[in-house]
């Protein structure tokens, strides 16, 4: 089986803002382990990013998270050489960016990578439609194709009815939708998003987060998303890279970072995260204690329930699709009568199911109300596991502080 190659690969990425001997001295100090403050005090140069290495896979929404001054905005600008690296390597789909001349770099930015900025970066004298189509126009796409692609992008971001408006006539949230629509219309392989929602009020921000989540589920773009908001990072990211003082502290999924913070800084950082919105059913999934089939002997099932201290069991078919629940009371009567199998009319609907990616905040009020734990099923209604009430409560009670 062929292993998928990363869409983005960065090795030893370093950026010093400064020039001449000061920059050279700053780089030498950084290699020797000097911290950012000492470097700036001695040389006057700023070590913005130091020795950062990571990969982003095709179709991944990769979040770069850090506080103000952590180097995250510099990092994203290094990825398309809006900022030139001082050291290190950047490869996009296997191609080394440092080897590109001006023409190839323009081609990369026009066709392979697009960017959504914090402050929208819209052209005020152009309509919404013209703004969305601008990248295609620069690329020389024929009018008919450009209009079709622009119309599709406007529909995706919910602005088809505002196509003839100007940016100044739109709210901040709508303007950001135009920026996202422009990036989608360009149909690039990589989408860079530099704190795109930080200027929006909380309600509009949540709407934009939901829009991005929906679009990503449908389009599977490779996205690098920059944010200083940890809850936003945990909500959106397939994986998250945490930066501190220009250095990589940890990379992992949201549940991995919550469960195994790399150091005390990360532990403190994530201690106040709303876990109910980050963790999903898959994160607390457990193997069912008892799963049976219609042809199982009721007496045997009753014995298993007794050993598991359970009141009922899921009944599944040969494909593990859930047929219903059989309770201990029916099983007791059937065992006393010597019934050889579980009757279909004995099955109860005293259970609930959920998808594996559903956040715990949606599950808290569902668990513990039935004779069997909440069932996690796939698209074919096959039983993947269960979510016991105790597992949800234990997960929510966990802290990262020792």
Cα–Cα distance, 92 to 101 (Å, whole number): 15
Per-residue pLDDT of the chain (402 residues; tens, 9 = 90+): 457 899 999 999 999 998 889 999 999 999 999 989 999 999 999 999 999 999 999 999 999 999 888 999 999 999 989 999 999 999 999 999 988 888 888 888 888 898 888 777 889 999 999 999 998 988 888 999 999 999 999 999 999 999 999 999 998 889 989 999 999 998 888 999 999 888 788 888 888 899 999 999 999 999 999 999 988 998 899 999 999 999 999 999 998 998 889 999 999 888 888 888 888 899 889 999 999 999 999 999 999 999 988 899 999 999 999 999 999 999 999 999 999 999 999 999 999 999 998 988 888 888 888 889 999 999 999 999 999 988 888 777 754 443
* Residue pair 135/110 in contact by the 8 Å Cβ criterion: yes
Q: Look up residue 170 and give its DSSP letter.
A: S
The reported pLDDT for the residue numbered 2 is 54
The reported pLDDT for the residue numbered 398 is 59
Cα–Cα distance, 195 to 177 (Å, whole number): 14
Q: Report the CATH architecture of 282-397.
A: Roll (3.10)
Domain boundaries, the chain: 56-276, 282-397
Cα–Cα distance, 235 to 51 (Å, whole number): 27
How many CB atoms sit inside 10 A of residue 59's CB?
14
How many CB atoms sit inside 10 A of residue 6's CB?
18
Tokens 């929906």 belong to 214
How many CB atoms sit inside 10 A of residue 263's CB?
11
- Which tokens go with 240? 């998250």
Cα–Cα distance, 366 to 352 (Å, whole number): 8
CA angle 362, 364, 370 (to 5 degrees): 110
Residues 6+ apart with CB under 8 A from 332: 302
β-pairing verdict for 247-252 and 239-244: antiparallel
Percent of the chain exceeding pLDDT 90 equals 62
* Residue pair 227/233 in contact by the 8 Å Cβ criterion: yes
- Which tokens go with 35? 């911290």
The CATH label, of 3.40.50.1370, 3.40.50.300, 1.20.120.1200, 2.30.30.280, for the domain at 56-276 is 3.40.50.300
């Amino acid at each position: 089986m062929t292993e998928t190659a990363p869409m983005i690969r960065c090795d030893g990425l370093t950026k010093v803002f400064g020039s001449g001997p000061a920059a050279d001295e700053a780089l030498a100090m950084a290699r020797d382990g000097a911290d950012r403050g000492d470097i700036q005090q001695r040389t006057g140069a700023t070590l913005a990013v130091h020795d950062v290495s990571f990969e982003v896979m095709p179709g991944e929404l990769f979040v770069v998270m850090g506080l103000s001054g952590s180097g995250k905005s510099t990092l994203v600008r290094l990825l398309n050489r809006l900022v030139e690296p001082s050291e290190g390597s950047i490869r996009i789909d296997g191609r080394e960016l440092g080897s590109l001349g001006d023409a190839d770099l323009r081609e990369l930015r026009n066709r392979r990578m697009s960017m959504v900025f914090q402050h929208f970066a819209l052209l005020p004298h152009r309509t919404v439609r013209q703004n969305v189509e601008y990248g295609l126009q620069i690329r020389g796409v024929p009018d008919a194709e450009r209009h079709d692609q622009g119309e599709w992008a406007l529909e995706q971001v919910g602005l088809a009815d505002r196509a003839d408006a100007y940016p100044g006539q739109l709210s901040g949230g709508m303007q950001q939708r135009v920026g996202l629509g422009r990036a989608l219309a360009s149909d690039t392989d990589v989408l860079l998003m530099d704190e795109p929602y930080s200027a929006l009020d909380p309600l509009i921000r949540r709407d934009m987060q939901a829009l991005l989540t929906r679009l990503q589920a449908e389009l599977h773009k490779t996205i690098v998303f920059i944010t200083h908001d940890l809850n936003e990072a945990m909500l959106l990211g397939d994986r998250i890279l945490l930066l501190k003082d220009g250095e990589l502290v940890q990379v992992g999924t949201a549940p991995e970072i919550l469960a195994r913070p790399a150091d005390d800084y990360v532990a403190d950082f994530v201690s106040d995260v709303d876990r109910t919105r980050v963790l999903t059913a898959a994160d607390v999934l457990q193997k069912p204690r008892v799963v049976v089939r219609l042809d199982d002997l009721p007496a045997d099932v009753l014995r298993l329930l007794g050993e598991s201290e359970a009141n009922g069991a899921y009944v599944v078919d040969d494909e593990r699709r859930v047929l219903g629940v059989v309770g201990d009371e029916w099983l007791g009567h059937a065992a006393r009568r010597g019934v050889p199998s579980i009757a279909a009319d004995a099955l109860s609907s005293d259970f609930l199911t959920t998808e594996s990616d559903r956040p715990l905040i949606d599950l808290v009020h569902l668990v513990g109300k039935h004779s069997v734990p909440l069932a996690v099923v796939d698209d074919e209604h096959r039983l993947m596991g269960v979510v016991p009430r105790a597992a949800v409560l234990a997960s929510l009670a966990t802290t990262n502080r020792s």
